[in-house]
Structure 1
Amino acid sequence: MGKTYAVTKTIQEINAKIKSGKAVVLNAEEMIEMVRKSGKEKAAQEVDVVTTGTFSPMCSSGMLFNIGQKNPPVIKCSNAWLNGVPCYGGLAAVDSYCGATESTEDDPLNKVYPGQFKYGGGHVIEDLIRGKAVHLKANGYGTDCYPRKEIDKDITLADLPHASLLNPRNCYQNYNAAVNLTSRIIYTYMGPLKPNARNCNFATAGQISPLFNDPYLSTIGLGTRIFIGGAIGYVLGEGTQHNPKPKRNERGIPLSPAGTLMLKGDMKKMDARYVRGVSIVGYGCSLALGVGIPIPILNEEMAWFTGVSDADIQMPVKDYGYDYPNGLPRTLKHVTFEELKSGEFELNGQQVHAVPITSYARSLEIANELKSWIEDGKFLLSEPQEPILSE
């Protein structure tokens, strides 16, 4: 990790400056220029918070919801569907979970093109946040305390006593750049990949992505307050598939998929601009989600980390045609995020067209929205209550 610098500020001191309107807040893009021109020492002295953002498909997401017991007789839901999307009901009487990648059981697109789905859990979540009515169907086997056996009605988000995004794995710290070395087109969660490496699809927001700006998760842990879906939410801890000890480059940036976060947020306060159901051709459904994390500049080290640029980030190119489905982790090469953003890079003597599945423009918008919340005193930083293992 390198030299550890003495703390020059505390989160409490930064929050006091936010409350008084004196905090200096930069987005991650602006911080790159600050560190380049002035150096990490001056940047640490002058900047209090750096805001980050990402807007990308995050398949490991879903909605935990409660339908309430307003109309007698009451029910214990064994099975539930929202607009035809199956939800998991094995929690309590009227608690269910709607996964973002779950698809409708009778999706008309799947009937014509097997393996393709038009509507799924991510779309249900977006529709509810937009204020639309969705159809709830639920059933139970009936008990003495829960005698009702069926529910069949339209509901809105306002009708639900509780609805939150509860996401097991978001905000991947680095990820694969996907190509296909076989002779046929393949359909993946990274999108369609043309044969013979005629395209490369890649994710993350690069230099403004949250975990590239705090590569050792020094300021992010249980209880960290964040922007999620246009509302205030929290980090619950490490996400599933979290890799705490990846190989890193000289800036501490992982050279492979590494850190992940488990997140939550109140859906009733969210904005559908930052929560979108998506259908990925030939793969299925997912949820595109906006997340922003503030990085407090406590010392020179954090100033240095938040000065990361696209040229500092190296992403592994992987073959999804043969290697990935056969469980082979081979990396064909590393390319910088700067190269990927340019639109093409060289692989095995040929130029490969690179296509992002993360919106950089929307990611920067999220970083700026979070910046304005902090500058307006509407968002305070929080102390992590438990660290996330990162080395």
Structure 2
Amino acid sequence: MGTFKVRKSYRQINDKIRSGDVVVVTAEEMIDIVADNGPEEAARQVDVVTTGTFAPMCSSGAFINFGHSTPGTKASKVWINNVPAYGGIAAVDCYIGATEPCEDDPLNKVYPGEFIYGGGHVIQDLVAGKKMHFKAIGYGTDCYPNREYEKVVDLESLPQATLCNPRNAYQNYNCAVNLTNKTVYTYMGALKPKGGNANYCSAGQLSPLFNDPFYRTIGLGTRIFLGGGVGYVTWHGTQHRAGVNRAENGTPLTPAGTLWVMGDMKQMRPDWLVGVSIQGYGCSLAVGLGVPIPILNEEMAAFTAVSDAELYTQIVDYGSDYPQGRPSQLGQVSYAELKSGVITLKGRQVPTVPLSSMVKARQIAETLKQWIASGTFELGEPQFTLPAS
């Protein structure tokens, strides 16, 4: 941290939010503000920059308390709409993961390994208020003698449901291609042979961790937009890699930081938690997530002014290199190029396919901006920030 000419505190910014005097803009709007005024003056003018991303985030799930039966059951195995949930927590608690497939999926009967319904869909259906079939079995104890328990549940009837996503909002990710002679099916989507398409998954200049590359303002207790409601950053996510190669502007050139996030599912909406099925790979959950970045000084103003033309990722061959754990040798590409719809690879024009929705990312950033401007959303000051090295 250097010596800054502009200094603001979380308390000062929250006071401005409560008084209605706060100036909040989206990360895309901040690019022009800094270009026109410079980071120092932009830091004087702007208090908060909002970000957003909406994409499949496989490392997602929910802790659910489903309530006691009469007589009591100590659940050892649990199913919700025939999707297995992990029951080894407590008598009436379970965790359902976004990528867990339904045990009786009709598509799997015809095409083994293919699924159309899984844990991500269960989470979306619960948030949508749908009725769900619940089943639990136990081995029976003196205090919990019942061995089987079935009922119909919905989100309102559940005592508690907490979205708990161990790895979300990846700070950069690969651009995936396939240079083999056959189509490969991956979590990055179907990749045509001989470099027929290039898939990527990031909101680029709107993506949360691109706008705070060294996690100066993000950590335990950071309040965020999560699934259409309010959530929190509770830890660094799994596979968090801070010590990676970075560009001169501080942004990583490869997959880097991640967020562990949580929130009350009863506040959330099905528009922002969407179960997805990825051909040849399985089930997942598309998550809407947005992080407000407080402009504490001119450094943060400069960080939040990063544009797609200044953000780069690596091109990785998912047909051979990725499965074998080999490093990428195919070079880098900017998000401006990716979003143009075509990149050049080995002298050929290759169409690009986004797995991340820019439309929804902009909606999230704008919604968070409105929440803050209206005084209904204050910033959460982190107890400590994420590891930066």
Question: 1:18 aligned to 2:17?
Answer: yes
Shift of residue 331, structure 1, vs aligned partner: 3.7
Shift of residue 5, structure 1, vs aligned partner: 2.8
The answer for unaligned runs of 5 or more in structure 1 is none
User: Which amino acid in structure 2 is aligned with residue 29 of structure 1?
Assistant: E
Q: Deviations over 1:295-331 (max 9, x none)?
A: 0000000000000000010011000001111111224
Q: Say whether the 8 Å CA contact 1:274–1:288 is kept in structure 2.
A: yes
Q: Is the partner of 1:101 in helix, strand or coil?
A: coil
**RMSD of the TM alignment (CA)?**
0.9
Query: Which residue, out of 141, 146, 149, partners 2:147?
Result: 149
Shift of residue 3, structure 1, vs aligned partner: 4.8
Question: 1:223 aligned to 2:221?
Answer: yes
Q: Distance in 1 between matches of 2:328 and 2:224?
A: 34
Question: 1:191 aligned to 2:189?
Answer: yes
Q: Distance in 2 between matches of 1:380 and 1:328?
A: 44
Q: Give the structure 2 partner of residue 55 of structure 1.
A: 54
Q: Give the structure 2 partner of residue 336 of structure 1.
A: 334
Shift of residue 137, structure 1, vs aligned partner: 0.9
Which structure 2 residues correspond to residues 205-220 of structure 1 after superposition, within 5 A? 205-220=203-218
User: Which amino acid in structure 1 is aligned with residue 348 of structure 2?
Assistant: Q
Q: Say whether the 8 Å CA contact 1:310–1:336 is kept in structure 2.
A: yes
Shift of residue 48, structure 1, vs aligned partner: 0.2
Query: Which residue, out of 123, 130, 141, partners 2:128?
Result: 130
Q: Distance in 2 between matches of 1:4 and 1:165?
A: 40
Q: 1:164 to 1:348 in 2, by over 3 A?
A: same
TM-score (norm 1): 0.98
Q: Deviations over 1:251-307 (max 9, x none)?
A: 001010000010001000001111100000111000000000000000000000000
Q: Is the partner of 1:387 in helix, strand or coil?
A: coil
Shift of residue 4, structure 1, vs aligned partner: 5.4
Q: Say whether the 8 Å CA contact 1:206–1:337 is kept in structure 2.
A: yes
Q: Is the partner of 1:237 in helix, strand or coil?
A: strand
Question: 1:203 aligned to 2:201?
Answer: yes
User: Which amino acid in structure 1 is aligned with residue 27 of structure 2?
Assistant: A
User: Which amino acid in structure 1 is aligned with residue 34 of structure 2?
Assistant: V
Q: Give the structure 2 partner of residue 317 of structure 1.
A: 315
Which structure 2 residues correspond to residues 266-305 of structure 1 after superposition, within 5 A? 266-305=264-303
Q: Give the structure 2 partner of residue 242 of structure 1.
A: 240
Q: Give the structure 2 partner of residue 80 of structure 1.
A: 78
Q: Give the structure 2 partner of residue 93 of structure 1.
A: 91
Paired positions, count? 389
Q: Give the structure 1 partner of residue 387 of structure 2.
A: 389
Q: Distance in 2 between matches of 1:329 and 1:312?
A: 23
Which deviates further from its counterpart, 138-147 or 152-161?
A: 152-161
Q: Is the partner of 2:199 in helix, strand or coil?
A: strand
Q: Give the structure 2 partner of residue 35 of structure 1.
A: 34
Q: Distance in 1 between matches of 2:108 and 2:34?
A: 51
Q: Is the partner of 1:302 in helix, strand or coil?
A: helix
Q: Say whether the 8 Å CA contact 2:6–2:40 is kept in structure 1.
A: no
Q: Is the partner of 1:178 in helix, strand or coil?
A: strand
Q: Is the partner of 1:386 in helix, strand or coil?
A: coil
Q: Say whether the 8 Å CA contact 1:4–1:301 is kept in structure 2.
A: no
Q: Distance in 2 between matches of 1:331 and 1:381?
A: 42
Q: Say whether the 8 Å CA contact 2:289–2:364 is kept in structure 1.
A: yes
Shift of residue 55, structure 1, vs aligned partner: 0.3
Shift of residue 41, structure 1, vs aligned partner: 1.0
User: Which amino acid in structure 2 is aligned with residue 28 of structure 1?
Assistant: A
Q: Distance in 1 between matches of 2:373 and 2:329?
A: 42
Q: Say whether the 8 Å CA contact 2:226–2:290 is kept in structure 1.
A: yes
Which deviates further from its counterpart, 216-225 or 102-111?
A: 102-111
Query: Which residue, out of 167, 171, 174, partners 1:173?
Result: 171
Q: Distance in 2 between matches of 1:37 and 1:114?
A: 56
Shift of residue 113, structure 1, vs aligned partner: 1.2
Q: Distance in 2 between matches of 1:30 and 1:335?
A: 23
Q: Distance in 2 between matches of 1:82 and 1:5?
A: 53
Q: Say whether the 8 Å CA contact 1:229–1:289 is kept in structure 2.
A: yes
Q: Give the structure 1 partner of residue 64 of structure 2.
A: 65
Q: Say whether the 8 Å CA contact 1:292–1:367 is kept in structure 2.
A: yes
Q: Say whether the 8 Å CA contact 2:6–2:43 is kept in structure 1.
A: no
Shift of residue 6, structure 1, vs aligned partner: 5.3
Q: Deviations over 1:87-140 (max 9, x none)?
A: 000000011000000001121101111211000000000000000011101100
Q: Give the structure 1 partner of residue 44 of structure 2.
A: 45
Q: Say whether the 8 Å CA contact 2:201–2:356 is kept in structure 1.
A: yes
The answer for unaligned runs of 5 or more in structure 2 is none
Q: Say whether the 8 Å CA contact 2:118–2:275 is kept in structure 1.
A: yes
User: Which amino acid in structure 1 is aligned with residue 203 of structure 2?
Assistant: A
Detail structure 1 runs of 4+ shifted over 4 Å in the superposition: none
User: Which amino acid in structure 2 is aligned with residue 24 of structure 1?
Assistant: V
Q: Give the structure 1 partner of residue 368 of structure 2.
A: 370
Q: Distance in 2 between matches of 1:230 and 1:308?
A: 26
Query: Which residue, out of 159, 162, 166, partners 1:161?
Result: 159
Q: Say whether the 8 Å CA contact 2:6–2:44 is kept in structure 1.
A: no
User: Which amino acid in structure 2 is aligned with residue 45 of structure 1?
Assistant: R
TM-score (norm 2): 0.99
